[in-house]
Structure 1
Amino acid sequence: MQNYDVIVIGSGAAGMIAAITAARRGKKVLLLEKLSKIGAKLKATGGGRCNLTNTLSNEAFMARFGREGRFMTPALRALDYKALIAFFEEIGVESHFPDGFRVFPKTHSSQTIINALEAELLRLSVTIICSQKAEALLYDEAHVRGVETASNSYRSDNVIIATGGLGYPMLGAEGDGFELAKSVGHKVTSLHPAMMPLKTKESWVGNCRADTIPKVEMFVNLPKYKKLKAKGDLIFTKNGIRGPVVLDFSREITPLLSKYDEVPLLMNLTKGMNEEQIRAHIKDEIFKNQDHTTLTLLQTLLPEALSLEFCKLADADPELGFNKQSGPSRDKLVKLLAWTPLTVNGHEGFKMAMITRGGVTLKEIVPETMESKKMKGLYFCGEVMNLDGPCGGYNLQWSFASGYVAGHLSEL
């Protein structure tokens, strides 16, 4: 049995920075990866562009994670976005934030990040073993003692679980860390796919695929959940919706789909205009051009394909003038423009999910150290824990910060 000071299971963002941090503190570190290469999921992050973090204050950053966000306070204090940028600069990666908010490597390539982290792991003499899956934790009473794979056992009094969630199963995500955590008494919450496209009951969306609708507002139209809302760009698909606003909002929708067969949404596709403002806009446009058909009038607010679908939904003739439509059709068009109903009724499961909603219960982890409250010497970091954020560098920042703290092994 080979002996190490620290064993890190998983070579994503959290695992690599945890291994680097421990090795920089003079520890003999083993990084275990079940795939043939390290950093596979990191390579796919942000469409390969690798949105590392963002420039929000720690308070604003944590707020975007919901009620569990405060758990991150010590980790962000230890490694906020400025410290993360400095860390990457130290290992040869220059970053920038072209939109003033999202931080990327200047190359806009996740491979740059992986190469730099791998080079630092090798410089620090971290042992990297690929193609070996951690099958079980070794422990006695209340202290972890190592890790067992199908072919070997590795001894260590410190084990860091950085296995990620269930998203991207083609990149090795199988929920290994959840099973390891449960094997020593940890509770794992219900798990849901998140940051993914959604399917809708309505088929008209399939006729509107050519355009991106900017600044869409949407909320859940269920009595208990009307506070759940999101804003961002929307894209219609053959059988549903995608785009940044959907990727963010799917975190809230997929758990609801496990309770309800359908989740009704209301969407504002007109950049926040209410019914009164829409009526005023229509009146102004008609005043400027008496020859407007209803279709050309709607196109002052929406793309042509979507305008045609709204005419169908309101039983309006697209070639007639707006004032020549029936009263009910005019009213329905205005209401559709202010709040478009849509019904989410499914998704593709974890195969299309970028992240996992749910994970190891935070109440059983010490936020200052990421150490288990149930098993001495066992640590968690990254997506395996019950914390997930929206698009925009939130989840990578959390992975790096939690991995950095875990790598200190209670010594911060």
Structure 2
Amino acid sequence: MKENQYDLIVIGSGGAGIIAAIVAARNSKRVLLLEKLPKIASKLKATGGGRCNLTNTLSNEEFMARFGRDGRFMQDALLAFDHKELIKFLGEIGVETHAPDGFRVFPTSHSSATIISGFDDEMKRLGIEILCEQKVTRLLIDGEHISGVKTTTDTFYAKNVIVATGGLGYPTLGAEGDGYTLAGELGHKITDLSPAMMPLQTKEDWVANCRADTIAKVELRVNLKKHKKLRANGDLIFTKNGIRGPVVLDFAREVTPLLKKYEEVPLLLNLTKGRNEEQIKTELQNEYQKNPAQSIVELVSTLLPTALSSEICKLADIDLELTYKKIDGAKKAKLISLLAWTPLSVTGHDGFKMAMITRGGVSLKDINPKTMQSKLVNGLYFCGEVMNLDGPCGGYNLQWSFASGYLAGKLS
């Protein structure tokens, strides 16, 4: 075998790329793993605030459903390497895992360093060659077949190349969209790219006064005629200039693409654990009967934290010192309506620098789901976030990276 000749070259050392390299090397392939940063697995290290939510315990059917209409694309990858296989794989390399809440799976150490150390030891055992500070600038092809890669300093050859470069989120951890450029140059369609899994900024400034409390079981809805089906449920936190929390991180993937079309995206928030107007009215009347002397803020605070209660009363143009009985009917109706559905207008976000994942990527139409191989170039494979498939919080995206990396590594 000539110098710089390999059976497989993997571009990118995130979860997808590392799994792909290990699986291929276990099949006696000579593997080269290229990483443009000084160290491997930088983004994996930061995942989940360093705790590394690896996967979750959903069935494959339920798991795919959470990704929306394109979720079925994952079927073959999950059949080969679902959460059970991942847990087994990690155990084999000395990484113990558990699911404290019965759903989300973490290393028992609750540290991503444990995962990276396990991967690193296994790659050394298998003799995988790892070269850092090697940015790939071009994919080389011979006719319709991949033949190697060119980096900023050298050229490497292989009949199989896996692109596992991730997305655009967290550029400080190396995300520059290299994979999109490399794939696009060979004719692959790259869908619109939007930052996802991130806080959102709102036009309303009253949110800054409500930062002390987490609001549980909030429902979010997009209040646009063509997008009324978009909704999500979960815990929400108000910030200095907007909203965050698990439900917002999940829902951001639906909202950020809309901000490219609209100056602002109107939302409706049910902050009262799913209560409708009639239920809210009845509950307020019952609480009022118990203590007729309490102010309207004190009364609403039986449903919501005091700071938030105060702001919603102000939105209804109600004097905060008044009792429920002294508020006129129109303002009472407005208050109850606001408690059922509080409007907020999303006007922006912090861009890819704060995005945990990227929505969009290499079109799935150009990739064979049974192998992760390109339909345009023989021997070229894709795995992980570089593809146009993203899911919510809770181990979904990392499991998809591992599963697609496993399939690509096994069949490349």
Same fold at TM > 0.5: yes
Cα distance in 2 for partners of 1:292, 1:279 equals 16
Show the 5 A alignment for 1:339-354: 339-354=341-356
Given residue 348 of structure 2, which amino acid in structure 1 is its aligned partner? G
Question: Structure 2-normalised TM-score?
Answer: 0.99
1:235 alignment counterpart: 237
Q: CA deviation at 1:409?
A: 2.4
Report the counterpart of residue 168 of structure 1 in structure 2.
Answer: 170
Q: 2:207 matched to which residue of 1? A: 205
Q: Which 10-residue stretch deviates more, 320-329 or 266-275?
A: 320-329
Give SS of 1:146's match. strand
* 1:12-411 paired onto structure 2 within 5 Å: 12-410=14-412
Report the AA paired with residue 395 of structure 2: G
Query: How far has the Cα of 1:149 moved from its partner?
Result: 0.6
Letter in 2 for 1:162: A
For the 8 Å contact 1:54–1:393, the answer to whether it is kept is yes
Percent identity, please. Answer: 68
8 Å CA contact 1:160–1:381 kept in 2: the answer is: yes
**Paired residues of 1:29 and 1:126 also in contact (CA < 8 A):** yes
Aligned letter for 1:200?
T
Between 1:259-268 and 1:282-291, the stretch displaced more is 282-291
Q: How far apart are residue 98 of structure 1 and its match?
A: 0.6
Deviation string for 1:316-375 (max 9, x for gaps)?
111111121122221111011100000001111100100000000001101011000000
Q: Which moved more, 1:200-209 or 1:318-327?
A: 318-327
Task: Give the residue type in structure 1 aligned to 2:104.
Answer: R
Q: CA deviation at 1:107?
A: 0.6
Cα displacement string for residues 74-110 of structure 1 (whole angstroms, at most 9, x for unaligned residues): 0000001111110101110111111111001101111
Residues 149-201 of structure 1: CA deviation (Å, up to 9, x unaligned): 11100010000000000001110100000001011111100100000000101
Deviation at 1:311, TM superposition (A): 1.4
Alpha-carbon distance in 2 for matches of 1:81, 1:30: 26
How many residue pairs match? The answer is 410
1: distance between equivalents of 2:152 and 2:348?
37
Report the Cα distance in structure 2 between the residues aligned to 1:185 and 1:99, rounded to whole angstroms.
44
Residue identity in the other structure for 1:242: R
Deviant stretches of 4+, over 4 Å: none
Aligned equivalents of 1:117, 1:173: Cα separation in 2 = 21
CA distance in 1 between partners of 2:239 and 2:250 (Å): 17
CA distance in 2, matches of 1:188, 1:13: 22
Output one character per residue of 1:189-239: Cα deviation in whole Å (capped at 9) or x when no partner: 010000000010111111111111011001100111111000001011111
Give the structure-1-normalised TM-score. 0.99
Give the CA RMSD over aligned residues: 0.7
Say which SS state the counterpart of residue 408 (structure 1) adopts: helix
Aligned-partner residue type, residue 184 of structure 1: L
Q: Distance in 1 between matches of 2:294 and 2:60?
A: 50
3-state SS of 1:374 partner: coil
Amino acid at match of 2:125: R
Q: What amino acid is aligned across from residue 340 of structure 1 in structure 2?
A: T
> Does the 8 A contact of 1:19 with 1:126 survive in 2?
yes
Secondary structure in 2 aligned to 1:235?
Answer: strand
Q: Distance in 1 between matches of 2:403 and 2:13?
A: 15
Cα deviation for residue 141 of structure 1 reads 1.3
The separation in 2 between residues aligned to 1:369 and 1:280, in whole angstroms, is 57
TM-fit CA distance, 1:63: 0.6
Amino acid corresponding to residue 266 of structure 1 in structure 2: L
CA distance in 1, matches of 2:139, 2:55: 32
Inter-partner Cα distance in structure 1 for 2:383 and 2:252:
23
Distance in 1, matches of 2:356 and 2:247, equals 14
Counterparts of 1:328 and 1:133 in 2: how far apart (Å)? Answer: 64
CA distance in 1, matches of 2:317, 2:403: 54
Deviation at 1:17, TM superposition (A): 0.2
- Cα distance, 1:283 vs. partner? 1.2
Q: Residue type of the partner of 1:118? A: D
Residue pair 1:158, 1:409 contacting (<8 A) in 2 also: no
Runs of 5+ in structure 2 lacking a partner?
A: none
